[in-house]
Amino acid sequence: MALTDELEGLRSDTLERVARAEDLASLDEVRVAVIGKSGTLTSYLRNMGNVAKEERAEVGKAVNAARQAVEDALETRRTELAAAELDARIQAGAVDITLPGRAQQMGSRHLINRMIDELNDIFLGLGYTVESGFEVETDYYNFTALNAPADHPSRSMQDTFYVKDLSGDAASVRGESDVLLRTQTSGAQVHAMEDWELPIYMVSPGKVYRRDVADPSHLPQFHQIEGLVVDKGITFGDLKGTLEYVCRAIFGPDRRTRFRAHYFPFTEPSAEVDVSCAVCGGEGCRMCKHTGWLEILGCGMVDPNVLRMSGIDPEVYSGFAFGFGIERVAALKYNVPDLRMLLEGDMRFLRQF
């Protein structure tokens, strides 16, 4: 049985070579040499015709068994070597994952507009629309329609910027001009009361101007957001509930609010709203001047005169209005030490937000 012995020799020899193969390439060499087209084992198969008839079955079986064994061994070894090679590749590919990622710059939103975005979202959620209005207004929309007395100091050239009136009209209130840089965004609300259908639920965020020289706590231009609601059956409780919600939404759920009666020509009754101081939690500290409270906004029920001036019957409709300075809220929230930073455009400041 020399043939079967030969085959056995080839089989064991091949298995040994498979086991010795160190990489996929040399393993493939073994495959080609043994079971490739002209491989040693393949040649036995090819030469089966020369095998004596009575031995054929036995030899054939032995050849097939050898081939099966070789194929199995090749596959096993191939899997082993592939895994080892992948492993090596992975190991070689390891990086210092603490190196910085591929740099790409996301731009930043200006702090004030970030605050306005936040506020707009709060009010959109409450069902308000947002309307900003124009920055140059007439005296009527900025003061008169809001019940401000003709002699009110805020109307003076000292406090309000006036611009040249090119219409040729004679100024009715101030000396030279009835056209001014708005000192509040309330004008947008008067336009809304005149032009919109009721009910009105609106906020007007925007830039306003007051004649203050820029210093750490003043700017001649800053931002306000004012709100106006006019509907049937609006109560002071609604005003309170709305602003309490808004203050918590801005400053956090733990902050308390209090309403202090106050006076504004545009509203009656009027109040100022304080939020409990975040620094001391209401105990009193330097930040809140030892009162435990920070003044945030002014508000009140819309004065019937204001409604009437805009053609709304105060016997049928009531409403509330409120307004606050964005810069103040931002300064309180982020401890901005000097408001002028908001207008300098210093990249090192802007990119913090």
Q: Of residues 249-308, which lie at the interface with another protein (CB under 8 A)?
A: 258-263, 268-271, 301, 303-304
Among 162, 251, 266, 317, binds another protein (CB under 8 A): 162
Hey, which residues between 80 and 139 contact another protein (CB under 8 A)?
A: 99-100, 102-110, 112-113, 123-131, 134-138
205 to 224: interface string for another protein, x by CB under 8 A = --x-x-x-x------xx---
Give me the residues paired with residue 293 across strands: 276
Compare residues 31 and 182 and give the one whose CB is closer to another protein.
182
Distance CA 60, CA 4 (A): 10
321 to 350: interface string for another protein, x by CB under 8 A = ---------------------xxxxxxx-x
Distance CA 161, CA 176 (A): 12
174 to 193: interface string for another protein, x by CB under 8 A = --xxxx-x------------
Tell me if 196 contacts another protein by CB under 8 A.
Answer: no
Compare residues 39 and 319 and give the one whose CB is closer to another protein.
319
Quick one: three-class SS letters along 51-76? CCHHHHHHHHHHHHHHHHHHHHHHHH
Least separation in angstroms between CB 245 and another protein = 7
Pairing type for strands 293-302 and 318-325 reads: antiparallel
User: From the CB of residue 9, how many other CB atoms can be counted at a distance below 10 Å?
Assistant: 11
Tell me if 236 contacts another protein by CB under 8 A.
Answer: yes
Residue 231, C-beta contacts closer than 8 angstroms, at least 6 positions apart = 198, 199, 200, 201, 317, 318, 319
**φ, ψ for residue 310, nearest 5 deg:** -95, 15
Tell me if 242 contacts another protein by CB under 8 A.
Answer: yes
- Report how many residues bind another protein under the rule CB under 8 A: 92
Tokens of 273: 């709203």
